Chain A
């Protein structure tokens, strides 16, 4: 039934395994480690790999991983029990060997096979018996129906109930007084019996209503008095003053800022602010700088205390004991703008990693949690694949083809602006760039790129007089099919020996299916070397939704014959200068896709393009 049951250390040495098939299942387990455990997705404990299902369990005390692999179609009810029992048995049997761990020799654990077989056999037997047994009738107490039926009676909160009863009694007392007076003359009738009979009748319920009415009147009158006290204290009519904003400028500035009357930029790009621009030239040669943020100094945690730590006996962490700290950490991450879903998953993964671990007496739980969250964050943000645009472009140049980069994202996140910045960076490094205006929808999109191209080509004029320009805009106006424009642009670049093609696409909401289909088509038809998702750092919970849906659209709308459909290769994080230390979007985005943040936009000028500094972001998150 089971394909594989394996026990290995976190160092990767398989101590013992039981294999049911001849196939090598190592790749499946490796991909489990790589995609789940190393990317802090440990919150879930089932993982699918092709036609296989993998279930795992971590033993943090002895740093072991238990993995069971079986066919997806099988329904094995006893797996949880099996994992638990095997873990216990293994720990009991080899406790001493595991504590003085090195060198770990798999041959020492070979006799575990019998123990495992016993456990498996007994569980399978129990499972079979339970299946053969006729289904027992459910007891009424155990069903959901009972809950639903009894709920209306028990559901009300205690207090409310008491109040109601009290009111009823009040009413009854009133009635009693009245009826009592009448009954005195009649004598023979039992007072209580008359009470019970009269309390249900109409005239008395009238009374109750009256009482309630008087009560509500009282409360409303108190309300009105309380309202009266909040009188406007100042008799003078208040006049509004024009507020002076800090960096608002004055009325006179509007004239200077109004560019609408001026001459439109010519194709030569001779402009009044050109001189200012020229100072930018040469400032972006080479690789990008990391985002400038204070990285905290490493505190010297070693020395005497770490020595004591190793001597003193430790405590064992349980999920309950770190629960409150974890909850606090989660809230902290959410205030730093990490998407709630992501913060939740991350924290449960870290909890799973810490559960059962021993810590020294001198280190508090808080610091342990913090350091392991920090480690997890660093691991999420560090790229698992290198994206070196410059080098890839050079390689493509050598191969004699243009390097195509597509930008996509929702509206107004700064696709065109950052495209221009990246273009400037590429130009600075001696590449020739063609910009393809594939935003054929938003008015002004082409003009925006035209302006950028003019400014950029004035900064980087052609190598010789009258030669081909180093940066050129490829446009076909509005309303055309973006995919075909892109294709023309790539062909044009190939003919004219442009090194890089930057494709600007129209912004689109992730839920807009027709637009997503057209984006998928553009990418499918042209198969660009790099698909960059542009997202703003201001985004909160939405980040996950955007990325997931963009990714899914690219995969869903790809050719059905295509085995490996394209998805997003990297992320451009824009508006990073606006968010202070709320840098959570970086985590949300990289966690969702597993793709690196390639560029970070940090301002308005062409120079404001950076790479991500992982340490700085993590420090800002945990501050």
Chain B
């Protein structure tokens, strides 16, 4: 019937428009997912403050996070072009950290690990690093990692070099006690983890890792009182700029 034709065409057009809209939305979502830099670390190591420093530049008091903070951050590459990345501040509480981090792991571009250099809990940090490095995606994609030893403005902070050796020892120790597990209980349903001990002496060192790991010191708070303090986080910002 000729009278039906315009209606049919209209419906067809509508369907096409809707489906293309949906498709476009998917594409957009997919693209925005691609670039995430996570701020990881134990509770009270200064992640949220660093996040604030990077995003807004100002100082803010912080409390223990219950949720992640997320914001856009633009990086400038060497050539001078700018790109937008997502900066995610993952809460340090162990119970939430894993859950939140798993949400972003597929879109990971780089990881900033913050360490409280004053109350340095080597064992917990080592566990965190092992969890991160043995994550298949992190290992396969060779996600770059920067370990920033925060709170250098305080007098009792240990140096980045100290922390590096302590961490390497701790990780070696944990891995040797866990290495038994990897050889014997493979049938378990646990997610596959990556073998981390590679070199001949069976010790862990950051240089041997396939991920490009940088260790640096920083101070997200900086010296001075709350209104006038300026952060010392140049290492972190310049590292962020090296990510493409």
A290 pairs with B94, CB closer than 8 A: no
A391 pairs with B177, CB closer than 8 A: yes
Report 13 cross-chain contacts, Cβ distance below 8 Å, ordered by A residue. A9-B67, A11-B48, A11-B66, A12-B69, A13-B69, A14-B63, A30-B43, A38-B96, A102-B55, A103-B52, A290-B188, A378-B95, A391-B174
Most B-side CB within 10 Å, residue of A37, A103, A395? A103
A30 pairs with B44, CB closer than 8 A: yes
Bitwise interface map of B from 71 to 97 toward A, beta carbon under 8 Å scored 1, else 0? 110000000000000000101011110
**Interface check A365, CB cutoff 8 A:** no
Chain A residue contacts of B61, Cβ below 8 A: 6, 8, 14, 17, 26, 106
A279 to chain B, nearest CB (A): 16
In the complex, the 7 A-B pairs of residues with the closest C-beta atoms, listed nearest first: A12-B65, A286-B181, A11-B69, A14-B61, A33-B64, A286-B180, A10-B67
Selected from B59, B177, B180, the residue in CB contact (under 8 A) with A285 is B180
Chain B interface, number of residues (Cβ within 8 angstroms):
49
Chain B residue contacts of A8, Cβ below 8 A: 61-63
Chain A residue contacts of B89, Cβ below 8 A: 11-12
B121 to chain A, nearest CB (A): 11
**Interface check B70, CB cutoff 8 A:** yes
User: With A29-B63, A33-B64, A107-B58 as given contacts, are A307 and B180 in contact (CB-CB < 8 Å)?
Assistant: no
A13 pairs with B93, CB closer than 8 A: no
Residues of B1-54 whose CB lies within 8 A of A = 22, 25-26, 29, 43-44, 48, 52
**Interface check A304, CB cutoff 8 A:** yes
A60 to chain B, nearest CB (A): 11
Chain A residue contacts of B180, Cβ below 8 A: 285-287, 429
B127 pairs with A34, CB closer than 8 A: no
Chain B residue contacts of A395, Cβ below 8 A: 173
Chain A residue contacts of B182, Cβ below 8 A: 286
- Give Cα distance in the complex from A8 to B60, angstroms: 10
Selected from A14, A63, A287, A378, the residue in CB contact (under 8 A) with B60 is A14
A37 pairs with B66, CB closer than 8 A: yes
B95 pairs with A379, CB closer than 8 A: yes
**Interface check A579, CB cutoff 8 A:** no
The chain A residue sitting closest to B48, CB to CB, is A12
Chain A residue contacts of B174, Cβ below 8 A: 391
A386 pairs with B91, CB closer than 8 A: no
A34 pairs with B189, CB closer than 8 A: no
Selected from B91, B95, B127, B177, the residue in CB contact (under 8 A) with A394 is B177
A378 pairs with B63, CB closer than 8 A: no
The interface size bin for chain A is 35 or more
Chain B residue contacts of A14, Cβ below 8 A: 60-63
User: With A382-B94, A383-B94 as given contacts, are A10 and B65 in contact (CB-CB < 8 Å)?
Assistant: yes
Bitwise interface map of A from 1 to 39 toward B, beta carbon under 8 Å scored 1, else 0? 000001011111110010000000010011001100110
Chain A residue contacts of B58, Cβ below 8 A: 105-107
- Give Cα distance in the complex from A418 to B25, angstroms: 56
Residues of B179-224 whose CB lies within 8 A of A = 180-185, 188-190
A33 pairs with B177, CB closer than 8 A: no
Chain A residue contacts of B96, Cβ below 8 A: 38, 379
A12 pairs with B56, CB closer than 8 A: no
Chain B residue contacts of A366, Cβ below 8 A: none
Chain B residue contacts of A63, Cβ below 8 A: 67
Please list the residues of chain A having a beta carbon within 8 angstroms of any beta carbon in chain B. Answer: 6, 8-14, 17, 26, 29-30, 33-34, 37-38, 63, 65, 102-107, 285-287, 289-290, 292, 295, 304, 307, 378-379, 382-384, 386, 388, 390-391, 394-395, 429
- Give Cα distance in the complex from A61 to B159, angstroms: 43
- Give Cα distance in the complex from A30 to B66, angstroms: 11
- Give Cα distance in the complex from A295 to B58, angstroms: 45
- Give Cα distance in the complex from A501 to B58, angstroms: 54
- Give Cα distance in the complex from A386 to B98, angstroms: 14
The chain B residue sitting closest to A37, CB to CB, is B66
Selected from B56, B62, B94, B184, the residue in CB contact (under 8 A) with A384 is B94
**Interface check B234, CB cutoff 8 A:** no
A13 pairs with B52, CB closer than 8 A: yes
**Interface check B124, CB cutoff 8 A:** yes
**Interface check B153, CB cutoff 8 A:** no
B66 pairs with A390, CB closer than 8 A: no
**Interface check B178, CB cutoff 8 A:** yes
Chain B residue contacts of A429, Cβ below 8 A: 180
Chain A residue contacts of B43, Cβ below 8 A: 30, 34
A386 pairs with B124, CB closer than 8 A: yes
Given contacts A11-B48, A30-B44, A382-B95, 11 further A-B contacts (CB under 8 A): A6-B61, A12-B62, A12-B64, A13-B52, A38-B95, A63-B67, A106-B58, A106-B60, A106-B61, A285-B184, A378-B99
Chain A residue contacts of B135, Cβ below 8 A: none
**Interface check B68, CB cutoff 8 A:** yes
The chain A residue sitting closest to B25, CB to CB, is A307
A307 pairs with B64, CB closer than 8 A: no
Residues of B139-174 whose CB lies within 8 A of A = 173-174
The chain B residue sitting closest to A385, CB to CB, is B94
- Give Cα distance in the complex from A9 to B62, angstroms: 9
User: With A290-B189, A378-B99 as given contacts, are A12 and B173 in contact (CB-CB < 8 Å)?
Assistant: no
Selected from A6, A103, A286, A390, the residue in CB contact (under 8 A) with B55 is A103
A11 pairs with B188, CB closer than 8 A: no
Most A-side CB within 10 Å, residue of B44, B98, B185? B185
Chain B residue contacts of A383, Cβ below 8 A: 94
The chain A residue sitting closest to B98, CB to CB, is A382
Selected from B25, B52, B127, B185, the residue in CB contact (under 8 A) with A286 is B185
- Give Cα distance in the complex from A289 to B68, angstroms: 31
- Give Cα distance in the complex from A431 to B109, angstroms: 42
User: With A11-B65, A26-B61 as given contacts, are A102 and B71 in contact (CB-CB < 8 Å)?
Assistant: yes
A405 to chain B, nearest CB (A): 17
- Give Cα distance in the complex from A345 to B107, angstroms: 37
Chain A residue contacts of B184, Cβ below 8 A: 285-286
B64 pairs with A30, CB closer than 8 A: yes
Chain A residue contacts of B44, Cβ below 8 A: 30
A102 pairs with B60, CB closer than 8 A: no
A452 to chain B, nearest CB (A): 23
B185 pairs with A34, CB closer than 8 A: no
- Give Cα distance in the complex from A29 to B190, angstroms: 37
B185 pairs with A13, CB closer than 8 A: no
- Give Cα distance in the complex from A6 to B182, angstroms: 48
A289 pairs with B65, CB closer than 8 A: no
A11 pairs with B68, CB closer than 8 A: yes
Selected from A9, A17, A287, the residue in CB contact (under 8 A) with B181 is A287
Chain A residue contacts of B69, Cβ below 8 A: 9, 11-13, 102, 104
- Give Cα distance in the complex from A12 to B52, angstroms: 11
Chain A residue contacts of B71, Cβ below 8 A: 102-103
- Give Cα distance in the complex from A382 to B93, angstroms: 11
Most B-side CB within 10 Å, residue of A8, A29, A378? A8
- Give Cα distance in the complex from A6 to B60, angstroms: 12
Chain A residue contacts of B95, Cβ below 8 A: 38, 378-379, 382, 384
